[in-house]
Amino acid sequence: MVLSRSQRQDLRTGFTANLVVSASVAAYGSVLGLMAAQKGLTWYQLLVMNLSVFAGSAQFVMVDMWLPPLPVAEIILAVLVINMRYLLIGASLSPLFRDTSLKHKFLFMHLVADENWAMTMARYYKGPTTTWFLLGGGLCVQAAWCFGTLLGHRLGAVITNPERYGLDFSFVAVFTALVFSFWKGRQDVLPWLVAAAVAAVSESLMPGKWYIVCGGVAGALVAALMPPKGASND
């Protein structure tokens, strides 16, 4: 495929626009690499996971659940639920892909992550933006993700007593730091309380990792059943 000058230009602009956010993606990826090494994933398994799944939070959950015998069904179901948001992310990109072929859509959608999506949408509201900008950002984020995770994996193989450095706690820390980027305001109070309570109760009652799905779905159901924002009197 030969790219036109403007396509190359957009690809490059998209790549550079995502450089800063990609630095934090790499830093955050190094923690995943560390955890993956502790769980016994090889570097090439991690690399294939990066290239094929390419979704930060979902990969953290996968690695956390990575204990022999591998709970294949639970892991895939958890990934499905966590990545549900990509349905909405994909839907929100439809104006950008309006005049593109089906093949173009299938090729370009794989490299959509939260970061380059947010970058692209922010730019799209200001002026004309193409799918090449989106792809350029995706390549930048993917490169940083692979670099960070593999670097972390190397370090993880060196550190033999992770508890001493608090690294077993790292996954709680990662998700606690991440969860507030999803906080939208007071309407989240009740769904989040329900999610936390259902997760805590179902963790003690059910085997495996089903509490993640139970808590998540219960909390989101509360959000769906509550009156929409602005409809109540308070």
Tell which positions 146-185 bind other proteins, by CB under 8 A: 163-167, 169-184
Given the complex with other proteins, which of 2 and 106 has the nearer CB atom? Answer: 106
| Contact (CB, 8 A) for 25 and 114 | no
Name the DSSP letter for residue 187: G
Residue 71 to residue 76: CA distance in whole angstroms: 9
Given the complex with other proteins, which of 8 and 172 has the nearer CB atom? Answer: 172
- In the list 14, 136, 152, 216, the residue contacting other proteins (rule: CB under 8 A) is 216
C-alpha pair distances (Å), 18 with each of 41, 102, 131, 138, 232: 28, 26, 14, 8, 40
- In the list 17, 37, 93, 135, the residue contacting other proteins (rule: CB under 8 A) is 93
Of residues 3-32, those binding other proteins (CB under 8 A) = 24, 27-28, 31
**Is 121 one of the binding residues for other proteins (CB under 8 A)?**
no
Residue 17 to residue 13: CA distance in whole angstroms: 6
Given the complex with other proteins, which of 84 and 157 has the nearer CB atom? Answer: 84
Q: What is the DSSP string of 139-164?
A: HHHHHHHHHHHHHHHHHHHH-S-GGG
Residue 195 to residue 217: CA distance in whole angstroms: 8
Largest CA distance in the chain: 60
**Total chain residues near other proteins (CB under 8 A):** 94
Q: Which stretch binds other proteins (CB under 8 A): 3-11, 82-90, 118-126, 149-157?
A: 82-90
Given the complex with other proteins, which of 146 and 195 has the nearer CB atom? Answer: 195
| Contact (CB, 8 A) for 28 and 174 | yes
For 182, how many CA atoms within 13 A lie in the half-sphere containing its CB?
14
For residue 145, the minimal CB distance to other proteins (Å) is 14
Given the complex with other proteins, which of 8 and 20 has the nearer CB atom? Answer: 20
- In the list 3, 80, 155, 189, the residue contacting other proteins (rule: CB under 8 A) is 80
Residue 11 to residue 13: CA distance in whole angstroms: 6
For residue 202, the minimal CB distance to other proteins (Å) is 9
Given the complex with other proteins, which of 155 and 200 has the nearer CB atom? Answer: 200
